[in-house]
């Protein structure tokens, strides 16, 4: 669904100090487009005395998470892949008054973290993925990010409408000023951007036990929200007085 919020900047200037006379107009457009793609990271972390202990715990959970995304029908490589696998030593804190000549740093454990990155247009099962990942033991679930699977299509539409707005404004301004548009001298794209909605954050760490007890019927309802797509163009025309009337004035119209 695309909702158009027309945002016209009627900023124009007419210059006729020396031939040719010109008219410059800015045109803006703003589209509100429903997000149709989500991105999410799900993973596990563990801190143990040995690397093997930490890896074993994380690997078990990651195996369960791979089963979750596979059972939900997400395609490997196309929709999900391993995002990270980190092993970090944990050092014994240095005592406040430790002698720099005698104190020796000491590793007291290891932290292992790993996750899967999921990106898909299957918006209807985003909540199901969150619930099943938590139930499978994930203790590192990122925020849900929503975007457009094909942002260029909406970007092109915004650019086209911004150009149409500039043409319409120039035509109206020329008619009101008693001049005609002779030819388009210059048109430029000042900017076209897509701003996604704020990510959906979940307090999974605080309620991990509760989340792991969730079943598929208690999956959170998640709405992707709207992506704002904007574009701005500047166009310059050569103008000439209608009916041969002279134009000797320079100025601006806001």
| Per-residue model confidence as pLDDT tens digits over 75-126 | 999 999 999 999 999 998 888 887 777 888 899 999 999 999 999 999 999 9
* Residues 24, 234 contacting (CB under 8 angstroms): yes
State the average pLDDT for the chain.
Answer: 85
* Residues 12, 173 contacting (CB under 8 angstroms): yes
Nearest to 14 by CA among 210, 209, 180: 180
Tokens standing for residue 191: 């900017």
Domains located in the chain, CATH noted: 2-34+151-193+229-253 (3.30.110), 37-147 (3.30.70.2970)
* Residues 170, 238 contacting (CB under 8 angstroms): no
* Residues 184, 223 contacting (CB under 8 angstroms): no
User: How much is the average pLDDT of 237-249?
Assistant: 70
* Residues 14, 123 contacting (CB under 8 angstroms): no
pTM of the model: 0.75
Residue 7 has pLDDT above 70, yes or no: no
Percent of the chain exceeding pLDDT 70 equals 81
| Per-residue model confidence as pLDDT tens digits over 24-40 | 999 999 999 999 999 99
């Amino acid at each position: 669904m695309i909702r158009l919020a027309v945002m016209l900047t009627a900023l124009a200037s007419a210059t006729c100090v020396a031939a040719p006379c010109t008219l410059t107009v800015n045109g803006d457009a703003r589209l509100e487009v429903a997000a149709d793609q989500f991105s999410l990271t799900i993973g596990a972390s563990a801190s143990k005395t040995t690397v093997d202990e930490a890896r074993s715990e994380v690997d078990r959970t990651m195996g369960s998470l791979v089963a979750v995304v596979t059972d939900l029908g997400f395609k490997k490589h196309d929709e999900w892949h391993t995002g990270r696998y980190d092993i970090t030593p944990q050092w014994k804190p240095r005592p406040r008054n430790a002698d720099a000549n005698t104190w020796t740093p000491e590793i007291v454990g290891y932290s292992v973290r790993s996750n899967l990155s999921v990106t898909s247009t299957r918006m209807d099962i985003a909540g199901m993925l969150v619930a099943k990942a938590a139930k499978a033991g994930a203790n590192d679930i990122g925020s849900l990010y929503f975007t457009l699977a094909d942002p260029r299509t909406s970007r092109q539409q915004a650019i086209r409408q911004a150009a149409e707005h500039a043409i319409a404004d120039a035509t109206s301004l020329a008619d009101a000023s008693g001049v005609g548009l002779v030819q388009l001298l210059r048109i430029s794209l000042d900017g076209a951007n897509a701003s996604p909605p704020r990510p959906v954050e979940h307090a999974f760490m605080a309620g991990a036990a509760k989340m792991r007890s969730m079943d598929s019927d208690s999956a959170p309802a998640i709405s992707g929200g709207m992506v704002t797509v904007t574009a701005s163009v500047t166009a310059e025309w050569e103008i000439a007085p209608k009916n041969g009337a002279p134009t000797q004035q320079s100025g601006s119209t806001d």
